Chain A
Amino acid sequence: MKKLELERNKAPENENRAVKELICIMCPKGCRLKVEEGGGYAVTGNACPKGAEYGRKEVTNPTRVLTSTVKITGAIHSCCPVKTDRDIPKQLVLKAMDVLSGVVLKAPVRRGEVVVSNILGTGANLIATRDMEAAE
């Protein structure tokens, strides 16, 4: 497991091919990636293929899985946790939060149930991440 230290984001080593240094967020390991910008976006420093994919995406079209809550009525709590079932463009995260503000579910809800389909046209569905029974 790699840790973040202060000397991150150093100046590019090569003037022709800028190299971006990243920390992979795909798992708790936190590999230090080097991504060549331009060309094939070659990624080094990754311990698995997910890291390579992350590195490429992060310099071209960074994405994130959004986790949050939406309102729910009739359950023992007033919030139901949700997530996007795949990553969505990073710049759409806050817009997606606005969409979530308008959603009100009614219990019961099942884990995996689609709450908002194709959120903001990203192709990702917003799904409930837990069962919420109807409160007695």
Chain B
Amino acid sequence: MTQRYDVAVVGAGPAGLAAACSAYENGAEKVIVIDRDREAGGILNQCIHSGFGLHYFKEELTGPEYAGRFEEMLRKTGSRLMLDTMVLKVTQNREIHMMSPKEGYSVISAGAVVLAMGCRERTRGAVGIPGARPAGVFTAGAAQRYVNIEGYMVGRRVVILGSGDIGLIMARRMTLEGAKVLACVEIMPHSNGLARNIVQCLEDYGIPLYLSHTVTEIRGKNRVEAVKVQRVDESLKPVPGTEMIFDCDTVLLSVGLIPENELTRDAGIKIDPRTKGPYVYENMETTVPGVFACGNVVHVHDLVDFVTAESKKAGEAAAKYANNSALNAFNSDLKAIINGENVAYTVPQSIRTENTDKFAEVFFRVKRVFGDSVIELKDGEKPLKAYKRQHMAPGEMEHIIIPKDMLLSAAGSLTISVKEEEKQ
């Protein structure tokens, strides 16, 4: 006897909480949210710094505050929050197999499923840093958990590799707790973190940022004793003669995030090799009908507010699907979105025109830093629309809005490309 829910959400981080609330608001009566952790909120619980919520709540909140508000909203809906529970399998007919110490192995079925498992950090192995293998090399997120949740210091003298936001935030956090952060080292000529974080996390504390540099060796027998840092050339290869040695006991890695899609893959959902997340349509539905996805499991976002917006869309669509009010649009007018020049990926990957209301929103990332530039939307070779931007960077998600009539008028697939604006 499997319990039946209208909408089942996997993951109680910001994406899952927002999707569940939105599913309820849009008519799903029985909603369940499942999370492996003992508390809801996901990674926001350890993001104790502020900077969340400016778009959604119009005020600046810390991670736990942002999560707390959503958890409250969810509780008000009367939805079931099942914690300390690992989802082991999601099937194409929307059964969820899960396990918890309390209930052991159990299976539920759902009218619609929302996948919101978030992402994980890239590790030393994934970036292949040469050298010894001592303790003291942490991903920034693991260090953040030790420091902010468990109350332990992971080191005293720290070098940070990668200038992603978590790395920058941890530079300040470690400094405030008495560690000496010697350097933040970034292989690219630009930082992937927000400019405000470079100011308030590095510059405020006099921490140098070495752009176009990388760690080329980790030294130390049992615990990190030093790292070698070198400048890299345009092809990102270390330049001989530029070696610097930092005596440190800790290396924090902030070298990127990868959507966590084991369940997605096992469910037979098509994965986009560019985002490493599921292919999604305009309403965040995956290639398996009735299974939706949102948040960092789809593509890594820079701001939680954008995760919330995307997840509300997914939750709404899931509720509609569960209530059979979704358009059965799988064979409808499908517009694939092609990544043109300088576009790394888009979400959604394709749009079902009939499923869009007044317009469709497309999120994407550019491949390099741009100054004054134009985003071009084309129908095959035919230009449809141009969007001007003053600045774009790979670390900042871009988005454009495509009016429905434009979608309808397009004959073929849509191409999005970016080019520098021609100087007059």
Interface residues of A (CB under 8 A from B): 1-6, 22-28, 30, 64-69, 71, 76-79, 81, 83, 90, 93-94, 97, 111, 129-131
Contacts and interface: CB of A to CB of B under 8 A. Distances in A.
Nearest to A31: B195
Contact of B151 (A4, A22, A65, A69): A69
Interface residues of B, number: 39
A129 B191 contact: no
A3 B64 contact: no
Contact of A111 (B60, B65, B177, B191): B65
A6 B148 contact: no
Interface in B160-186: 173, 176-177
A25 B196 contact: yes
B76 interface: no
Interface in B187-222: 190-191, 194-196, 198-200, 204, 211
Contacts of A131: 68
B121 interface: no
A4 B202 CA distance: 12
B45 interface: yes
B217 to A, nearest CB: 26
Given A3-B195, A94-B176, A27 B148 contact: no
A77 B64 CA distance: 14
B391 A3 contact: yes
A90 B364 CA distance: 37
Interface of B: 38-39, 45, 48-51, 54, 60, 62-65, 67-68, 148-151, 173, 176-177, 190-191, 194-196, 198-200, 204, 211, 302-303, 369, 391, 393, 395-396
Contacts of B391: 1-3
Given A3-B391, A69-B148, A79-B151, A129 B199 contact: no
A6 B64 contact: no
A27 B393 contact: no
Contacts of B51: 28
Nearest to B64: A130
B190 A5 contact: yes
Contacts of A2: 195, 391
Contacts of B148: 69, 79, 81
18 contacts: A3-B190, A4-B195, A4-B198, A22-B199, A23-B198, A25-B199, A27-B54, A28-B51, A28-B302, A30-B195, A30-B196, A66-B176, A76-B39, A77-B150, A81-B64, A97-B177, A129-B65, A131-B68
